[in-house]
Structure 1
Amino acid sequence: MTAWQWVKLVGNFLNLSTVAGAVVGVLGRATFSRGPRGLFFANGYKLGFPIAGAFTIGNVVLSKHDRAYFDNPALVRHEERHSWQYFCLIGLPMLPLYVVAAVVSFLLTGDPASRNPFERLADLKEGGYVEHPIQPIGKTVTQAFSGLKSRPKGP
């Protein structure tokens, strides 16, 4: 680890974002392991929210997938950039700011990542995202409601 990665590791512990990530991982019954760059992987996360291949809280990267999912160096770089965002925003304020950014991105493009500055700064492509163009809000609303209608009904 570099000196700056140590600074981020300690900073995200002190600002409680890594502690929060560990608590979420425990609640989600994940299995923890050390990763590179001062990250911790929490694999086998069992809660259904958020809907993502992986998500980061502090220096903890949570995923429903197994450890092999993080064999992709680009994905690890993407998630490490998110850990830097927690450091720069002094921890947990990142969460509500991320939610607002995701909602705005969804309203603009129909996709929560495309215009989300946190995802763009973490590199959309390395995170496995496809950039969607800005579209009229009416199209976004139509897509959202048609997605709800096409969902299967309960038992």
Structure 2
Amino acid sequence: MRRWHRVRRVLNYANLSTPLGLLVARLGRARLAPGPCGLVLGYGYRLPFPVAGAFTLGNVVLTKHPEGHLTGHLLRHEDRHASQYAACAGLPMLPLYLVAVAVSFLVCGNQASWNVFERLANLEDGNYPRTPPWWARTRPGPPE
């Protein structure tokens, strides 16, 4: 494990985001397994919220899907979110993320395309579309 991943793991425990992730995993009856880069992977998450293929709380990555779902680009996307928790001092990321979701909805009509956290985690790696802002979309011309 790289030095940054060890530091991030300590920071996310100290800022309480990873303990929150472990609590949510337990409430959602996810099966936990150690993952790469100091992450904890939780499979079979059963609560209906949030509606996402995967989501991260601290160093805990949760998914409703079975083992093997968190790989490749998606895992790299969620790994970047774990680093964002460390950069935001943990739990303050939650309200900041909700504001970013609201901004994205206002700008382009979906939760991710203009969400700064999702953009920094690479939209494509998270399977999110790149939707242009409403003011940049082509409008149909007048009927002839």
Counterparts of 1:23-62 in structure 2, within 5 Å, are 23-62=23-62
Tell me the distance in 2 between the aligned counterparts of 1:67 and 1:9. Answer: 22
SS in 2 for 1:111: coil
Cα distance, 1:12 vs structure 2: 0.3
* Partner Cα separation in structure 1 for residue 89 and residue 103 of structure 2: 22
**How far does the alpha carbon of each residue in 1:16-54 deviate from its partner, in whole angstroms, 9 at most, with x for none?**
100000001101111100110110011111011110000
Per-residue CA deviations over 1:64-108 (Å, capped at 9, x if unaligned) read 00121013x111111010000000111000000001100110111
Q: Report the AA paired with residue 97 of structure 2.
A: Y
* Amino acid across the alignment from 1:53: G
5 Å-filtered alignment, 1:92-107, equals: 92-107=91-106
Aligned-CA RMSD value: 0.8
Q: How many residues align?
A: 135
Quick one: distance in 2 between partners of 1:135 and 1:47?
Answer: 33
- Could you list the runs of 5+ residues in structure 1 that have no partner in the other structure? 137-155
Q: What code does the residue aligned with 1:5 have? A: H
Inter-partner Cα distance in structure 2 for 1:131 and 1:50: 21
Return the letter of the residue paired with 1:125.
E
Q: 2 CA distance for matches of 1:44 and 1:130?
A: 25
Instruction: Give the aligned partner of residue 131 of structure 1.
Output: 130
* In structure 2, distance between residues paired with 1:109 and 1:133: 6
Task: State the AA in 1 paired with 2:132.
Answer: P
- SS of structure 2 residue aligned to 1:41: strand
Q: TM-score, normalised by structure 1?
A: 0.85
Give, as a single letter, the amino acid of the residue that structure 2 aligns with 1:95. Answer: L
| In structure 2, distance between residues paired with 1:22 and 1:31 | 11
Moved over 3 A (4+): none
Q: Superposition pairs for residues 7-22 of structure 1, below 5 Å?
A: 7-22=7-22
CA distance in structure 1 between the aligned counterparts of 2:99 and 2:8, rounded to whole angstroms: 24
Alignment correspondent of 2:75: 76
Query: Residue type matched to 2:14 in 1?
Result: L
TM-score relative to the length of structure 2: 0.91
